[in-house]
Amino acid sequence: MEHDGTNQRLERPREQWGSAETAPAGGRRVEEAAWIRRMQAGDLSPFADLVRRYQDQVYNTCWRICGNVEDAHDVAQDAFLKALDSIGDFHGRSAFYTWLFRIAVNLAISQRRRSRQRMMLSLDGSGGSRTDADANARLSEYVADERLDPPEKPGERRELQRVLAAALDGLDDDYRTVVVLRDIEGFDYDEIAAVLSVPRGTVKSRLHRARQALRQALERAGVDDPGRRPRAEQPAGSSRGA
């Protein structure tokens, strides 16, 4: 018997690109190419348009990789400026947004590592990482917003997201990045491979392992399946890449 997978496969989350829709195509790509040519010629006026088009995606990606909004803001800003500085080196061999995200992701990972080093060097004894604390604080705010609860299952969805966000934050950078790019920002495997400069097979493998780790974290917390009770109060924080 062959399984009918039409209801199982997940559509690419294009809506996640927000008002900028998804990766630019057709007229948008042509328009974008014109912007880039103008910027390469020294005209900075299209820069604001490019920023508007991608700021939410870049910012979100940085937020999820860095783990806190402050670093995300700085990294997103740096990414756009670095792209501007290097616009002369962009030859159109890849899509601009792929190129932009490569810059952003690399900066975000570097920032995350620096933050982690600072945390490890910290002698304040407060325990827990700053990024974890920030992420949890923001998530708590989100959880506290009852408007987001589906009326039939109050609290469960938000608890699921809280656990999941903590688990995602606990993943190794390589794994967290592919999850963010694929499941949050909607990149396909080829695009992720281009952003991370890794083979497509590596993307596939990392994504699989990351999802397994997240799945296990949800199972440990008992929130993997609505209706099941949590088996542990403590959220899974460091799945470390499965």
**Nearer residue to another protein within complex by CB, 95 or 104:** 104
Burial class for 73, CB neighbours closer than 10 Å (0-12, 13-18, 19+): middle
Site for another protein in 65-94 (CB under 8 A): 69, 72-73, 76-77, 80-81, 84-89
* CA distance readout (Å), 177 to 132, 195, 210: 16, 10, 9
151 lies in the site for another protein, by CB under 8 A = no
Residues 195, 98 contacting (CB under 8 angstroms):
yes
CA 46, 48, 51, 53 dihedral sign is negative
Share of the chain residues as helix, strand and coil, in percent rounded to the nearest 5: 70, 0, 30
Residue 207 makes contact with another protein by CB under 8 A = yes
Q: Does 179 bind another protein (CB under 8 A)?
A: yes
225 contacts another protein (rule: CB under 8 A): yes
Q: Does residue 39 bind another protein (CB under 8 A)?
A: yes
List 3, 91, 93, 147, residue binding another protein (CB under 8 A): 3
Tokens representing 79 are 């990414």
Q: How far apart, in whole angstroms, are the C-alpha atoms of residue 210 and residue 68?
A: 20
Q: Which is nearer to another protein, 126 or 190 (CB)?
A: 190
Say what angle helices 156-170 and 130-144 make with each other, to 10 degrees.
Answer: 170
Q: Is 205 in the site for another protein (CB under 8 A)?
A: yes
| Sites of contact with another protein (CB under 8 A) | 1-5, 8-13, 16, 18, 38-44, 47-48, 51-52, 55-56, 58-60, 63-64, 69, 72-73, 76-77, 80-81, 84-89, 139, 142, 148, 157, 160-161, 164-165, 168, 179, 182-184, 188-189, 204-205, 207-208, 211-212, 214-215, 218, 224-225
